[in-house]
Amino acid sequence: MVGGIFRESADRSEPLSEPGDHPTLREALVEAYPHYVASVLAQRGIDVDELTADAIVEGTGVLDGLLTTFERTPMVDQRSSPLELFREALRPVDRALELRGIDTPSGQGSGVPAWDRHQLSPGSSQVLGSVAHEAHLRWAVTKATAIAPLVNRPAVFLVSMGGDEEVVSALESAGFRPVSTIEDASLALIDDGVDGAGGLVRSALARNLTTVVYGEAIDDLRQLGLLALGVDRVVSRDDLVEQPSEVLPSLA
């Protein structure tokens, strides 16, 4: 009976959603998963026994969990693609086929993960059916739109006390992109109150970064010392938060 369910789904060219529906990306890919796997196995003449059926159910659950986390992650912070997560969720099926002693295909397919001995990974979302493919395209367009404004923003290596959200917001409002690694930055913004501020300033200057130091209360003597080191500007935190465009140097 279990095998019959998946053999029947293998004959379907599309998932169950109606063409006019617009399911979420998670819904579309999770729905497509068992049909895709059953279709691939049917094309290779592999029956879906109880072990494989259980693996398909497990993989569907894995994909649902991965995509639930994925859709809760802001697009700019997403480090994997939906298709990569779909491939990852095929591990239980690959494992089941290995336990069954099913012969692996010859050669290594393009873009197939090293663990995917049975080359189950889809090359694109097109093979998952039109509903899943369209949902994947909608996600891609939405992510591109979300990321586009950030691409050309100057990266600022920001070091602040306890992750100062007001400073982060001020930077973003002024058209900068805060980053946590100095390698990608063109400007360094360092809170004079953090431990090791002097060393961080010297590291930034050694990389020829435009360097700005800010603080709650930097006295005249400290300001002169920082400028003598080669710091471009020394500003108060209040000025930085209230008028970032005025106190930060233009990198255009």
pLDDT digits 0-9 by tens, 65-117:
999 999 999 887 888 999 999 999 999 999 999 999 999 987 665 567 889 99
CA distance 50 to 55: 9
For residues 236, 238, 244 and 246, what is the CA-based torsion angle, rounded to 10 degrees?
A: -70
- Of the two residues 14 and 123, the one the predictor is more confident about is 123
Tell me the two tokens of residue 90.
């095929």
How far is residue 187's CA from residue 229's CA, in Å, rounded to a whole number?
A: 16
Is the model's pTM score more than 0.85? no
Q: How far apart are CA 29 and CA 10, in angstroms?
A: 16
pLDDT at 23 over 70: yes
pLDDT single digits (tens) 172-229? 888 888 888 898 788 999 999 888 999 999 999 999 999 999 998 889 999 999 999 9
Give the pair of three-digit tokens for residue 240: 């930085």
**Does residue 45 or residue 145 have the better pLDDT?**
45
Q: What is the mean pLDDT of residues 231-249?
A: 90
Q: Is the pLDDT of residue 3 over 60?
A: no
**Residue 173 DSSP one-character state:** H
Q: Grade residue 150 by pLDDT with cuts at 50, 70 and 90.
A: low
What's the mean pLDDT in 54-69?
A: 98
Is there a contact between 214 and 206 (Cβ–Cβ < 8 Å)?
A: no
The two beta strands, 210-215 and 187-191, are: parallel
